[in-house]
């Protein structure tokens, strides 16, 4: 049983560009959450998708948007990248109280 | 506004001894608490959790204690092993299953052989 998978592993972008990150949830999980982890910090909640709708959202600007597909996989899109968007982006899937994380995508904005 | 606080950034313990990792929270609406372990270049791995209706939950070498009146929880690892060396995150949620998690900054545990 594959766990949560994310792609790509690493990404380097330039300020002002747009980026799309992808996530496939653990088998049997229908809810996907995205988190941003800056260096030396704990993960911060961006938003959560369930039944292809955004169900909860954290304190992130509208430049951060997402999508969930009928097979429960999800994308995170970030527009107009800023240097401060450099971080590890984590996807987590769940079907209950515990959330299971993927390995993350390391985004560097130069 | 840090709602989940892990005030000690690091902890070093001898192999075989007990590791105690502490976590404090300020939001009294939190009703579920989780601990995650994270190795470099990997995502956080779920370790153990506890509901606010309990004060203790045990799973093998890992035990989590919850003191609601003090808004404090702790993770005990007995006996500690070198493979336990990692960053440990405390997280909390409110509002039932699939609710967003609020994380602390993490504690780096080093277990010395």
CA B32 to chain A, closest CA, distance in angstroms equals: 8
| Contact residues of B toward A, CB < 8 A | 4, 6, 32, 34, 36, 41-46, 49, 89, 91, 93, 96-106
Range of the domain at B82: 4-112
Rounded percentage of chain B residues whose pLDDT exceeds 70? 99
CB proximity A60 to B under 8 Å: no
pLDDT digits (tens, 9 = 90+) for B8-59: 999 999 999 999 999 999 999 999 999 999 998 889 999 999 999 999 999 9
b/e A8-37 (16+ beta carbons within 10 angstroms → b): eeeeebeeeeebebbbbbbeebebbbbbbb
pLDDT, position A97: 80
Q: 3-state DSSP call for residue B84?
A: helix
Q: Give the domain CATH number at B21.
A: 2.60.40.10
Q: Is A84 an interface residue toward B (CB < 8 Å)?
A: no
Beta bridge partners of A107: A11, A87
Average pLDDT over residues A7-26: 97
Instruction: State yes or no: pLDDT of B2 exceeds 90.
Output: no
Size of interface A-B (CB pairs under 8 A): 69
How does the average pLDDT of chain B come out, rounded? 95
Q: How confident is the model at residue A1 (pLDDT cuts 50, 70, 90)?
A: low
Domain A5-99 has CATH 3.40.50.720: no
Number of structural domains in chain B: 1
Query: Other C-beta atoms within 10 Å of B11: how many?
Result: 16
B34 contacts on A by Cβ (under 8 Å): 97-99
Q: What is the pLDDT of residues B61-106, one digit of tens each?
A: 999 999 999 999 999 999 999 999 999 999 999 867 778 999 999 9
Partner residue facing B101 (CB), from A31, A45, A95: A45
Q: Which residues pair with A21 in a beta bridge?
A: A76
Q: How many CA atoms lie within 13 A of B50 on its CB side?
A: 21
Confirm if B9 and B105 have CB atoms less than 8 A apart: yes
Residue A98 has pLDDT above 90, yes or no: no
Q: Which of B36, B42, B98 sits opposite A31 (nearest CB)?
A: B98
Q: What is the pLDDT of residue A47?
A: 97
Structure confidence by residue, pLDDT tens digits, A43-92: 999 999 999 999 999 999 999 999 999 999 999 999 999 999 999 999 99
Contact B61/B76 with Cβ under 8 angstroms? no
Specify the pLDDT at position B38. Answer: 96
What is the per-residue pLDDT across A31-52, written as a single tens digit (0 to 9) for each?
999 999 999 999 999 999 999 9
A97 contacts B49? CB cut-off 8 A = yes
Of B42, B43, B104, the CB nearest to A42: B104
Distance from CA of A40 to the nearest CA of B (A): 7
């Amino acid at each position: 049983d594959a766990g949560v998978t994310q792609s790509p592993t690493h990404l380097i972008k330039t300020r002002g560009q747009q980026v799309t990150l992808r996530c496939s949830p653990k088998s049997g999980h229908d809810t996907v959450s995205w988190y941003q982890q800056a260096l030396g910090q704990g993960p911060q909640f961006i938003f959560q998708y369930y039944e292809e709708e955004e169900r909860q959202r954290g304190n992130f600007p509208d430049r951060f948007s997402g999508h969930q597909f009928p097979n429960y996989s999800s994308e995170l899109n970030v527009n107009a990248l800023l240097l401060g968007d450099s971080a590890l982006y984590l996807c987590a899937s769940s079907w209950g109280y515990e959330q299971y994380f993927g390995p993350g995508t390391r985004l560097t904005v130069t | 506004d840090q709602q989940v606080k892990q005030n000690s950034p690091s902890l070093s313990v001898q192999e075989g001894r007990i590791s105690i990792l502490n976590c404090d929270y300020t939001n009294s609406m939190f009703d579920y608490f989780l601990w995650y372990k994270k190795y470099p270049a990997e995502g956080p791995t779920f370790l153990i959790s506890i509901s606010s209706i309990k004060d203790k939950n045990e799973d093998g070498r890992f035990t989590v204690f919850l003191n609601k009146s003090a808004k404090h929880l702790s993770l005990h690892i007995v006996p500690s092993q070198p493979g336990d060396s990692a960053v440990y995150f405390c997280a909390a949620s409110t509002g039932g299953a699939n609710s967003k998690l609020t994380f602390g900054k993490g504690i780096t545990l080093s277990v010395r052989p």
